[in-house]
Structure 1
Amino acid sequence: MGQPPVTAVTGIGTLVTNDPELGEGTLGIRRDAAVVFAEGRVAWVGDSREAPAADHAIDLGGRALLPGFVESHSHPVFAGERAEEFAARMTGIPYSAGGIRTTIAATRAATDEQLAANVRRLREEALRAGSTTMECKTGYGQTTPDELRGLLIASGFSDEVTLLAAHVPPPEYAGRADEYVTMVIERMIPECAPHARWIDVFCERGAFDEDQSRAVLKAGIAHGLTPRVHGNQLTAGPGVRLAVELGAASVDHVTHTTPADIDALANGSTVATLLPGADFCTRNPYPNARALLDAGVTVALGADCNPGTCYTTNLPFCIALAVREMRMTPDEAVWSATAGGAAALRRNDIGRLTPGSRADAFALDAPSYLHLAYRPGVPLIREVWQDGRLAVTDTTPAMPVGTVHS
């Protein structure tokens, strides 16, 4: 494809850099700003009137520019859907981990082409909603060949690929979770590890207990993978403590926590990734984000796209939920969906707009990032840049913008 053109984005009403040294507050806000993208990176940040010459210039006419969202928790490698399960849950049937088995059957029966088409559809959907980075988990194959092909398919769409080897015990291992864990450790992880960056486990009632989860994660670590944990979604179980113990990059869901869990996170390096869309779709309580943030825990926000409990790729929706239902401030929610997601992936080149970072960004059809929570459900994202290339553009804006010229 060659190098993307040098692009100057000027006339930015509110620029979120996520660097306090470049602007106001934690978000590093600059007004009437400009950025220059060159060779897929941010080359310059400053006042709009001082923007250097570029191959292309885009005047945002006072609209906001933000770093691309970093979606650090998604399950796009699947087939089928579970709309009837969702409808039943809305009538009062509680969520349990067992519904995953429905998706396992559909995913195993799908062709590689069908799975890849679904990942492509969801990846493009997420990009249109501003997510320029999207972690992709397996976990709906649960045999070594199916998990391996899931990793290979996911690798075509993301550098952040996770082997969710222990999602739930598959049907053929019903009542024999220990045997499944042994198979995962002895066969699945050794064969699949070269094609993944992360190892994940669902440490929860109905899935895997603490000892089983620890064994899977340690096996992944021994094969060069970095741990992540699904934890404390349904109960105040051992997931958070296990994640901190093993130095996991993140523990995700964190819906039910004890003071000891919060203290462990505050004193460790593990990011708490909150997934309010899943709690919205299961009518579970929301995480106590306020307690986590006030304790100094690093918090990320994810969309958790999956067919059973949160079939959305839309992080703006999750930001609105976080502000309205979890009492996060708009600044905290935006930071958590950008720089927080980057922290959960142990990346310092994304989730920010600073010289040297990747040129991943999106422009809003609004003057400020506050509108992401202020106008829930409204499709405000106009342009999306990925690696300095204009990946998404809307030619019918609701408010006047400047011209694009070369």
Structure 2
Amino acid sequence: MSMLFTGIAELVTCDETVEGAVTDPLHAGLGVIRDAAVVIGGGGEDSAPVIEWVGPADKAPAADWSVSLEGRAVIPGFVDSHSHLVFAGDRSAEFAARMSGTPYDGGGIAVSVEATRAAKDFELRGLIQQRVTEMRSQGTTTVEIKSGYGLTVEDEVRALRLAREVTTETTFLGAHVVPPDRRAEGERAAYLDLVCGEMLQACAPHARWVDVFCEPASPYAFDGDESRRVLEAGRAAGLELRVHGNQLSEGPGVQLAVELGAASVDHCTFLTDADVDALAGSDTVATLLPGVEFSTRQPYPDARRLIEAGVSVAIASDCNPGTCYSSSMPLMVALAVREMGMTPAEALRAATVGGAKALRRDDIGRVQVGQRADLAVVDAPSWLHIPYRVGVPIVRALEI
């Protein structure tokens, strides 16, 4: 059964070769079609809906059903390639303390670890589903979810098992921080052995990715040698690589990610010229997380510097309880435009195509024939209203 969507004032395809695409600089890279239509088919019990036709409305083919979007804009669904949705507890007091001058060093994760360990499966499952629903209500159709608030074998497996119920993009982050009960002298090395051994082996069947918080500036995170060990162990277990790097200071994270061929290095707040050059010469995506800087008052990453160097850039929410309890990709787009030197078109591409590349996915992030029909509707005549009407809930996933 096929469905024709008409009444689309602007359709962002992220495909500049599509028929009828606008060519002015404001829409560069977006492949915008005005007065457009889309045909979606498939979607039976065993298959996701796919895009069967895209183009100007006056050339649309017939379909089994037709629905008008009544002058709204349509974009590819946001691809949120960095989130931490499996957690319980409340860290709003920590946010208030930071706003009063307390610096962030990663130590507050222990609060979430304690609460998450204490939560029952049904409680965590409900919290995850609430957060995913909240994301879809703001236009996100693909989300990556990390573990990292359990930090025991049993709790990390549980986090990934529950995350796997809502996404295939699950990431083992046993190397989030050294847990509070393993920080005594001699215990740190034992915890790293656990992460790279028993914990990894138990978690690998439930994960696609392995990640590590590579941040020598934090006493709770991992240095370059420790991070290398985690990543190499994960790769040996069949997982693909991601890295938290260069969030609090210049450090080895970016160089390590590029050397090992990680799909993405995330944060990239403090970069040397050598880091930028390494990223520009690689397939590793620099994933920027502007909500973190908004919530910690750190400097924002310099996206303009990365783009002009030829680096592939994504933006994601980093939705988590400590440094960015926001699931809003429209907010991340607005912050990228306002604070990181990106044009609106660059920011939208980073939140769609960029996120797909950060997940090494070629079936999402664009509106093209054969792609998954993961679309979002903007309650406005132009996609530009996403950064323009900041804070207003005008984007939602298109339910088919």
TM-score (norm 1): 0.93
Deviations 1:299-321 (A, max 9, x none): 00101100001001000001000
**Residue number in structure 2 paired with 1:17:** 13
Q: 2:355 aligns with which of 341, 357, 360?
A: 341
2:210 equivalent in structure 1 = 199
CA contact (8 A) 1:178 1:212 kept: no
Could you tell me whether the CA contact under 8 Å between 1:177 and 1:208 is conserved in 2? no
| CA displacement 1:272-313 (0-9 Å, x = unmatched) | 000000110000000010000000100001011000010010
Match for 1:81 among 76, 80, 90? 90
Instruction: Give, in whole Å, the separation in 2 of the partners of 1:171 and 1:11.
Output: 56
Matched, 1:6 2:29: no
Which residue of the partner structure matches residue 36 of structure 2? 33
Alignment-mate amino acid for residue 308 of structure 1: G
Q: Report the equivalent of 2:182.
A: 173
Match 1:62 to one of 60, 67, 71: 71
Match in the other structure for 2:166: 157
Letter paired with 2:165: G
Partner of 2:103: 94
Match of 1:186 among 197, 215, 218: 197
Aligned positions of 1:307-318 closer than 5 A: 307-318=321-332
- Name the structure 2 match of 1:247: 261
Secondary structure in 2 aligned to 1:59? strand
Alignment correspondent of 2:367: 353
For residues 37-56 of structure 1, what are the structure 2 equivalents within 5 Å? 37-39=40-42, 40-56=49-65
Q: Distance in 1 between matches of 2:11 and 2:188?
A: 50
Does residue 1:129 correspond to 2:118, yes or no? Answer: no
The corresponding residue for 1:384 is: 397
Aligned equivalent of 2:337 = 323
Residue deviations 1:254-282 (CA, integer Å, cap 9, x gap): 01101000000000110000000011000
- Give 1:112's aligned residue: 121
Counterpart Cα distance in 2 of 1:35 and 1:177: 54
d(CA) in 1 for partners of 2:223, 2:394: 42
Rounded Cα–Cα distance in structure 1 between residues aligned with 2:392 and 2:198:
47
Q: Which ranges of structure 2 fall in alignment gaps of 5 or more residues?
A: 43-48
Alignment partners' CA distance in 2, 1:222 and 1:154: 22
1:384 and 1:288 mapped to 2: Cα distance? Answer: 29
* SS of match in other structure, 1:184: helix
Instruction: Look up the equivalent residue of 1:208 and give its one-letter code.
Output: F
Alignment of 1:357-368 (within 5 A): 357-368=371-382
**1: distance between equivalents of 2:397 and 2:242?**
28
- For 1:305 and 1:87, how far apart are their aligned partners in 2? 17
Equivalent position amino acid for 1:60 in 2: L
2:397 alignment partner AA: V
Q: Secondary structure in 1 aligned to 2:150?
A: coil
Measure, in 1, the Cα distance between the counterparts of 2:74 and 2:229: 44
SS in 1 for 2:107: helix
- Structure 1 counterpart SS, 2:134: helix
Distance 2:233 2:90 in 1: 32
- Alignment partners' CA distance in 2, 1:319 and 1:302: 9
Give 3-state SS (helix, strand or coil) of 1:70's partner. Answer: strand
- Where 2:71 maps in the other structure, the secondary structure is coil
Secondary structure in structure 1 of the residue aligned to 2:266: strand
Cα drift, residue 384 of structure 1: 2.2
SS of residue paired to 1:140: coil
Answer yes or no: is 1:229 the counterpart of 2:240.
no
CA distance, structure 2, for counterparts of residue 140 and residue 6 of structure 1: 43
Percent identity (aligned): 55
- Asked if 1:286 corresponds to 2:305, the answer is no
5 Å-filtered alignment, 1:205-220, equals: 205-206=217-218, 207-220=221-234
- Shift, 1:55, TM fit: 2.6
TM, length-normalised to structure 2: 0.94
Work out the CA distance in 2 between the residues paired with 1:111 and 1:265: 41
- What are the superposed Cα offsets for residues 328-382 of structure 1, whole Å, 9 maximum, x if unpaired? 000000000000000000001001100000001011111111111111111112x
Q: Using the alignment, how far apart are the partners of 2:173 and 2:195 within structure 1?
A: 10
| Cα-to-partner distance string for 1:37-78 (whole Å, 9 max, x where unaligned) | 101000000110121222322222322110000000000000
- CA-based RMSD: 1.0
8 A Cα contact 1:100 1:140, kept in partner: yes
8 A contact 1:42–1:359 mirrored in 2:
yes
Provide the C-alpha distance between the structure 2 equivalents of 1:57 and 1:273, rounded to a whole number of angstroms: 38
1:271 aligns with 2:267: no
